[in-house]
């Protein structure tokens, strides 16, 4: 069997690039007060192994029982842990969005769950007790679904990684009884802080597994600090301003790419899928210190995912594209 390989935007092990359009992390973070709290995190002691105060804070913010809140070492760890919990709970199929975040399928394949990609919600037709991943809004498309089918009896998880970066439209109603995965480091521009959390719908068997599979002190002191300030009024106000700025940059960048004959798909976030007029653009741009995310691993050869970046980066992108065009003329 060939195992799927994780591929992500952002740092790729090579030298850093000057202008990175390949990551979905907000280019604006972090909010100043929250950042001060992260820097002041007490690294000299273990955090509370129960994360009691943090779980109460998060539970209160979500209107959920704090016992249902399970801290994770980031969204990626939450995906792995919940997939294992689902497997132990007898789930044998994993339904994953296609195109979608690759970690869902990789985690499922590693445990021997049958991976079932779906293009649209109506395509989700489980034939066995299943784990169903919804990504709202979805990475890499940046799209949002108006409604989801009735998936009662299945372990449904809504990955809300990009909810705080929703630039248009409202959050659709989430399926009743769904788990939620919240990983705010992308919206906060703090992806180096590995912290997120799951909210379970009930203290059922999957919750018991997900809770008992967590390593002790799964969250670092910095992670506790970030999540403790995630629901502060100051963070919410900063995020509202960030979204306004990202709307502006998204519009400007879309106009620039349209002028250069890029095909672009709609999205409600600051990242989206685009097809450049020449297929090798990801490699060519890299030579100019500009990185975009090749979308081939999403099953979309010839496409890339780009995120909105500040004006200086946008100018560098434009310059590089014009130079490449003139080289090829
Ligand atoms: C949809 C989605 N979920 C989860 C993650 C994992 O995020 P992290 O582990 O940094 O919290 C990512 C990262 O790119 C993502 O795109």
Distance CA 304, CA 314 (A): 16
Contact 94, 128 (CB under 8 A): no
Q: What is the pLDDT of residues 129-150, one digit of tens each?
A: 999 999 999 999 999 998 888 8
Dihedral angle sign, alpha carbons of residues 66, 171, 241, 310: positive
How many domains is the chain partitioned into structurally? 2
Q: Look at residue 297 and tell me whether its pLDDT is greater than 80.
A: yes
Candidates 70, 137, 141, 183: which one to mutate for ligand 1, based on the most atoms within 8 Å of Cβ?
Answer: 183
The answer to whether the CB of 74 is under 6 A from ligand 1 is yes
**Of 68, 65, 108, 62, residue with least CA distance to 87:** 108
> How close is the Cα of 103 to the center of ligand 1, in Å?
8
Contact 106, 127 (CB under 8 A): no
Q: Which of 230, 255, 289 is the last residue of a domain?
A: 230
Instruction: Mark whether 155 and 72 lie in a shared domain.
Output: yes
Instruction: Mark whether 226 and 270 lie in a shared domain.
Output: no
Q: If you search the block for the tokens 């979308």, which residue do you land on?
A: 295
Residue 53 in domain: yes
Tokens of 282: 């990801």
Residue with CA at minimum distance from ligand 1 atom 4: 75
State the pLDDT at residue 231.
Answer: 98
Instruction: Mark whether 319 and 170 lie in a shared domain.
Output: no
Contact 218, 2 (CB under 8 A): no
Q: Which of 213, 230, 247 is the last residue of a domain?
A: 230
* Average pLDDT estimate for 297-308: 95
State the pLDDT at residue 185.
Answer: 98
Q: What is the pLDDT of residues 190-226, one digit of tens each?
A: 999 999 999 999 999 999 999 999 999 999 999 999 9
- Banded pLDDT at 327 (limits 50, 70, 90): confident
* Average pLDDT estimate for 236-257: 98
Instruction: Mark whether 73 and 209 lie in a shared domain.
Output: yes
Instruction: Mark whether 149 and 254 lie in a shared domain.
Output: no
Instruction: Mark whether 175 and 319 lie in a shared domain.
Output: no
H/E element, 182: strand 179-182
The answer to whether the CB of 183 is under 6 A from ligand 1 is yes
Residue 6 in domain: no
Report which DSSP code applies to 187: T
Residue with CA at minimum distance from ligand 1 atom 5: 75
Q: Which of 190, 206, 230 is the last residue of a domain?
A: 230
State the pLDDT at residue 325.
Answer: 87
Distance CA 219, CA 50 (A): 10
Residue 197 in domain: yes
State the pLDDT at residue 194.
Answer: 98
Tokens of 16: 């850093």
Tokens of 28: 């604006």
Give the domain CATH number at 155. Answer: 3.40.640.10
> How close is the Cα of 63 to the center of ligand 1, in Å?
23
* Average pLDDT estimate for 157-166: 98
> How close is the Cα of 325 to the center of ligand 1, in Å?
34
Q: Find the length of the chain.
A: 329
> How close is the Cα of 280 to the center of ligand 1, in Å?
26
Q: What is the pLDDT of residues 83-122, one digit of tens each?
A: 999 999 999 999 999 999 999 999 999 999 999 999 999 9
Q: What is the mean pLDDT of the chain?
A: 95
Residue 4 in domain: no
Burial of 80 (0-12, 13-18, 19+ CB in 10 A): buried
Q: If you search the block for the tokens 């249902």, which residue do you land on?
A: 68
**Minimum-distance ligand 1 atom for the alpha carbon of 183:** 11
Instruction: Mark whether 127 and 75 lie in a shared domain.
Output: yes
Q: What is the pLDDT of residues 267-281, one digit of tens each?
A: 999 999 999 998 889
Instruction: Mark whether 89 and 212 lie in a shared domain.
Output: yes
β-strand partners of 96:
117
Containing structural domain, residue 309: 19-27+235-328
Q: Which residues contact 174 (CB under 8 A, 6 or more apart)?
A: 136, 148, 158, 180
State the pLDDT at residue 10.
Answer: 77
Residue 5 in domain: no
Residue 8 in domain: no
Instruction: Mark whether 85 and 171 lie in a shared domain.
Output: yes
- DSSP for 123-181? G---SSSEEEEEESSPTTT----S-----TTSEEEEE-TTGGG--SS-PPPPPTT-EEE
């Amino acid at each position: 069997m060939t195992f799927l390989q994780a591929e992500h935007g952002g740092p790729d092990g090579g030298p850093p690039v000057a202008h990175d359009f390949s990551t979905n992390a907000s280019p604006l973070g972090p909010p100043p007060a929250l950042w001060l709290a992260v820097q002041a995190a007490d690294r000299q002691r273990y955090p509370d192994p129960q994360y009691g105060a943090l779980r109460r804070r998060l539970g209160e913010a979500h209107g959920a029982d704090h016992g249902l809140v399970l801290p994770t070492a980031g969204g990626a760890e939450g995906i792995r842990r919940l997939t294992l919990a689902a497997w132990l709970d007898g789930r044998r199929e994993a339904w994953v969005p296609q195109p979608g975040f690759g970690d869902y399928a990789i985690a499922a394949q590693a445990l021997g769950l049958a991976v079932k990609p779906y293009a649209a919600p109506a395509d989700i037709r489980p034939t066995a007790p299943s784990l169903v991943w919804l990504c709202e809004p979805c990475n890499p498309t940046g799209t949002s679904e108006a409604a989801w089918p009735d998936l009662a009896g299945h372990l449904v998880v809504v990955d809300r990684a990009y909810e705080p970066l929703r630039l248009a439209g409202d959050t659709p109603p989430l399926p009743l009884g769904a788990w939620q995965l919240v990983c705010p480091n992308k919206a906060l521009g703090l992806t180096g802080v590995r912290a997120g959390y799951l909210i379970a719908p009930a203290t059922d068997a999957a919750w018991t597994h997900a809770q008992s599979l967590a390593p002790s002190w799964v969250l670092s002191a910095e992670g506790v600090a970030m999540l403790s300030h995630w629901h502060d009024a100051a963070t919410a106000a900063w995020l509202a301003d960030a979204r306004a700025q990202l709307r502006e940059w998204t519009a400007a960048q879309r106009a620039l790419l349209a002028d250069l004959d890029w095909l672009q798909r709609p999205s409600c976030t600051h990242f989206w899928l685009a097809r450049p007029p020449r297929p090798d653009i990801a490699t060519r741009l890299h030579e100019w210190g500009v990185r975009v995310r090749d979308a081939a691993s999403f099953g979309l050869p010839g496409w890339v995912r780009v995120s909105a970046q500040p004006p200086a980066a946008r100018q560098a992108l434009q310059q590089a594209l014009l130079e490449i065009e003139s080289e090829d003329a």
